[in-house]
Amino acid sequence: MKFDDIRRALANYRKRKIGRSGLIPSAVLLPLVPKETPGYGNDIHIMLLQRSKAVEHHKGEVGFPGGHIDPSDASPLDAALREAYEETGLLREHVEIIGELDDYVTVTGYHITPFAGILTDADGLTPQTIETTEIFFVPLSFFTQPGHVEHTSILWQGQPRAVYTARFNGKFIWGATLAMIMRFLEVIGENR
């Protein structure tokens, strides 16, 4: 898969919108970057963050750059880019937004608007210690290889919930983050 293929797939995609009533509005960035990884060669990677234990929500979890949409944010995209800068130092001018993905609602009451973007400069990104302890990159092809992603069930507030889970280099990726990655791969034709 090449960036031009992803751009074409997203240019023709009509996202599914979900009403926001009673939910916490938030936005995330799915940052894509070309990188070389042993065993995967030169592949498109997705940038993920390890959250710190100091954040109010999702302590220690893996996620995308992003967060709450503040009243001062001009749009969900503005919120995603602001949060990405606050968490990693990623400058807006170093992101080419290539599409908006399906709205996602979490069991914890967040309404997430995800945006896919290509990082034109990923050098110099630094975890901001208040919110982020690590920035790491996972090859997109990792998620499409058999046995890497499991579809399982967990108990959430006494009810069974279906979730995706995966482990990459000791990082546990699951829940909303992995569900959005799997949907993104489906949209671009890589996860059938």
Q: What is the CATH number of the domain that holds 34?
A: 3.90.79.10
What is the pTM (predicted TM-score) of this model? Answer: 0.90
Examine the pLDDT at 185 and tell me if it is beyond 80: yes
Residues in the chain: 192
Backbone angles phi, psi at 152, to 5 degrees: -135, 180
Kindly report which listed range (60-64, 157-161, 162-166) carries the lowest average pLDDT score: 157-161
* Residue-wise pLDDT tens digits, 29-67: 999 998 877 777 788 999 999 987 666 666 668 999 999
Q: Report pLDDT for 2.
A: 87
52 lies in some domain: yes
- Report yes or no on 132 lying in a domain: yes
In a domain, 169, yes or no: no
pLDDT on residue 57: 60
Q: Is residue 176 part of a domain?
A: no
Pair of tokens at residue 114: 């995800």
**Residue 131 belongs to some domain of the structure:** yes
Q: How many domains does the chain have?
A: 1
Residues 95-113 pLDDT 10s: 999 999 999 998 888 999 9
Instruction: Classify residue 87: in a domain, yes or no.
Output: yes
pLDDT of res. 76: 96
In a domain, 151, yes or no: no
Q: How far apart are CA 177 and CA 24, in angstroms?
A: 16
Residue 137 pLDDT exceeds 60: yes
The whole-number pLDDT of residue 163 equals 87
Q: Which helix (H) or strand (E) holds 82?
A: helix 76-88
Provide the pLDDT for residue 58. Answer: 60
Q: Is position 161 within any domain?
A: no
Domain ranges, residue 85: 3-12+23-140
